[in-house]
Amino acid sequence: MITIQNLTKTYHTKSGEVEALRGISAEIRDGDIFGIIGLSGAGKSTLLRCIALLETPTSGSISIDGRDLSSLRGRQLTEHRRQIGVIFQGYNLLMQRTVSGNIAFPLEIAGVPKAEIRRRTEELIHLVGLDGKADAYPSQLSGGQCQRVAIARALAMRPEVMLFDEPTSALDPELTGEVLRVIRELAEQRTTMIIVTHEMAFARD
């Protein structure tokens, strides 16, 4: 599904060049759960951001379903971004919107009919175990609950692949479990996932 070939990424900074990625190649098949582990600064986020089209590689290629990402322009690029769900450490929720409002947001932008939005939002709230919280605001939720809203929001557009960048690193240990449980559930549904994690037991599992 995703083929990464000889990828490099060099950042040009005031204090010189930073080689974040050097010659990365990988093959991620449909339904794979692909874990990325490594020391801080090893380039994990950079790799994920390249796959998510948030960063342009210096050289090498990434193709998804046989299409080279660097060949995409305009509308195709927007289409492609929609097929990739990204979950970061900080969940970046809209504070003035409720749980259901946050999950509905990408669907509203995409022009999905209201009734369909309501149906899908309810389904996702249930999937991430937030029944009864539809009308709560992010400020009324724990970090673990916010992260689960972010996962539901990323799933709303039914992406082909979900990218997680240390989804639990900002959470207390007791809240980590509930987020990992949701990710496990997605794994059982054969969702293709690329996960940067420092939870070694979870990665092994």
Question: How near is the Cβ of 92 to ligand ADP at its closest, in Å?
Answer: 17
3-state secondary structure the chain: CEEEEEEEEEEEECCEEEEEEEEEEEEECCCCEEEECCCCCCCHHHHHHHHCCCCCCCEEEEEECCEEHHHCCHHHHHHHHHCEEEECCCCCCCCCCCHHHHHHHHHHHCCCCHHHHHHHHHHHHHHCCCCCCCCCCHHHCCHHHHHHHHHHHHHCCCCCEEEEECCCCCCCHHHHHHHHHHHHHHHHCCCEEEEECCCHHHHHC
Beta carbon nearer to ligand ADP, 38 or 177 = 38
Question: How near is the Cβ of 38 to ligand ADP at its closest, in Å?
Answer: 6
Q: Pattern 32-71, binding to ligand ADP, x per CB under 6 A?
A: ------x-xxxxxxx-------------------------
Residue from 6, 17, 18, 70 binding ligand ADP (CB under 6 A): 18
- To which residue do tokens 């874990």 refer? 35
Amino acid present at 36: I
Q: Pattern 112-131, binding to ligand ADP, x per CB under 6 A?
A: --------------------
Count the residues of the shown chain that bind ligand ADP, applying the rule CB under 6 A: 12
Q: Using the rule CB under 6 A, is 77 a contact of ligand ADP?
A: no
Beta carbon nearer to ligand ADP, 137 or 202 = 202
| Binding segment toward ligand ADP, per CB under 6 A, in 10-18, 136-144, 167-175, 180-188 | 10-18
Question: How near is the Cβ of 135 to ligand ADP at its closest, in Å?
Answer: 35
User: Interface with ligand ADP by CB under 6 A: which residues?
Assistant: 11, 13, 18, 20, 38, 40-46
